[in-house]
Structure 1
Amino acid sequence: MAALLLRHVGRHCLRAHLNSQLCLRNAVPLGTTAKEEMERFWNKNTSSNRPVSPHISIYGWSLPMAMSICHRGTGVALSGGVSLFGLSALLLPGNFESYLMFVKSLCLGPALIHSAKFVLVFPLMYHTWNGIRHLMWDLGKGLAISQVQQSGVAVLVLALLSSVGLAAM
């Protein structure tokens, strides 16, 4: 109650002491409405032949952009793969060894087995090495454009080499 009374008295005293010209002098007149602003904006962009989406026409594909998209994609794929593997272990009959014996009984060639292992391990290696690259960026290292390009190539080479090595096991 006291706070309401204090606020009311304060407003009354403030209004009495302030000059009405002071309040009007600092007011900014509204020049246009929102609709007029939008029409002016679209007329300007239409007359200058600007693209609606600058991402397609202005920003060409670059290695860091593609690697950022792939990093997110591999993260989603790995998360989904681990979740599906866990669900299948819970819901399918039998155990892992029985499915491993089934794959061995298919008599697939070593090239196909090596390729399948490479396809399974490459997203993990790419996501791991690129994650280390992002951690270095978080420390403030390697943020120059030339260093970003070099670290991108290094991540791709390391991911390929480590994937080939793990797939050969």
Structure 2
Amino acid sequence: MSLIFRLAGQRCNSQFLKNSNGLISCIRPVTLKATNVSPPSKEGHDERNMKLKRPQSPHLTIYAPQLTSLLSISHRATGIVLSGYAIGLGLGAIVLPESIPHYIDCLHEMGPAAVSFVKFSLSFPMAYHFWNGIRHLIWDTGKMLTIPQVYTTGYIMLAVTFATAGFLTVM
């Protein structure tokens, strides 16, 4: 490949770079001036930027929480929680000495509040991740992308999520 480019360059250069005398005229002499290099400064990045009066990059702590960012972070968090549930329950089924129904019976002995809490803890991340994933699939079609629509679908998704998780909890 380089041979092709070299040959093409020689062919093109021979026509465009020669003057009427047949000499290459576009090359001009360049003189470089040598200077001493200053030693690197021992100040840190932040100190140098403060001295130069450069603004610091904004950090998450200066932003007001927005529905869009909170829902995005929550979507990732529920995905992680669901993965943790799958790994934990799968390993528990393999490693624990008793079968799963034994542990469910132990949970029922703790009372209905404990059962409801465990059911909600298992159903909420699943419902949230499912409904928010549907919302993202709608976005992938190019619909509901204006800011008012994003906020409206966010609030609707939260309402449907809590309704779904509540329904699965009382079942």
The match for 1:62 is 66
The match for 2:31 is none
**How far did residue 52 of structure 1 move?**
2.1
Q: Which has the higher helix share?
A: 1
Cα-Cα RMSD: 2.9
Question: Matched residues in 2 for 1:83 and 1:147: separation?
Answer: 36
Question: Matched residues in 1 for 2:52 and 2:134: separation?
Answer: 45
Q: Give the direction of change, closer, same or farther, for the CA distance of 1:18–1:142 in structure 2 (3 Å limit).
A: same
The match for 1:142 is 144
Equivalent residue for 2:164, pick from 156, 162, 165:
162
The one-letter code sitting in structure 2 at the alignment partner of 1:52 is S
Q: Which ranges in structure 1 are unaligned for 5 or more consecutive residues?
A: 25-34
1:37-52 residue pairs with structure 2 within 5 A? Answer: 46-47=52-53, 50-52=55-57
Identity of aligned residues (%): 33
The match for 2:107 is 103
**How far did residue 131 of structure 1 move?**
0.6
Higher radius of gyration, 1 or 2 = 2
More relative contact order in 1 or in 2 (CA 8 Å, sep 6+)? 1
The match for 1:125 is 127
**How far did residue 98 of structure 1 move?**
1.9
Q: Give the direction of change, closer, same or farther, for the CA distance of 1:18–1:66 in structure 2 (3 Å limit).
A: same
The one-letter code sitting in structure 2 at the alignment partner of 1:17 is Q
The one-letter code sitting in structure 2 at the alignment partner of 1:162 is T
**How far did residue 116 of structure 1 move?**
2.4
3-state SS of the aligned residue for 1:47? coil
Equivalent residue for 1:80, pick from 76, 84, 87:
84
TM-score, length basis structure 1:
0.72
**How far did residue 165 of structure 1 move?**
0.8
Q: Which ranges in structure 2 are unaligned for 5 or more consecutive residues?
A: 18-23, 29-39
Matched, 1:91 2:95: yes
Question: Matched residues in 2 for 1:110 and 1:77: separation?
Answer: 24
**How far did residue 88 of structure 1 move?**
1.5
**How far did residue 7 of structure 1 move?**
5.8
**How far did residue 46 of structure 1 move?**
4.5
Q: Give the direction of change, closer, same or farther, for the CA distance of 1:74–1:15 in structure 2 (3 Å limit).
A: same
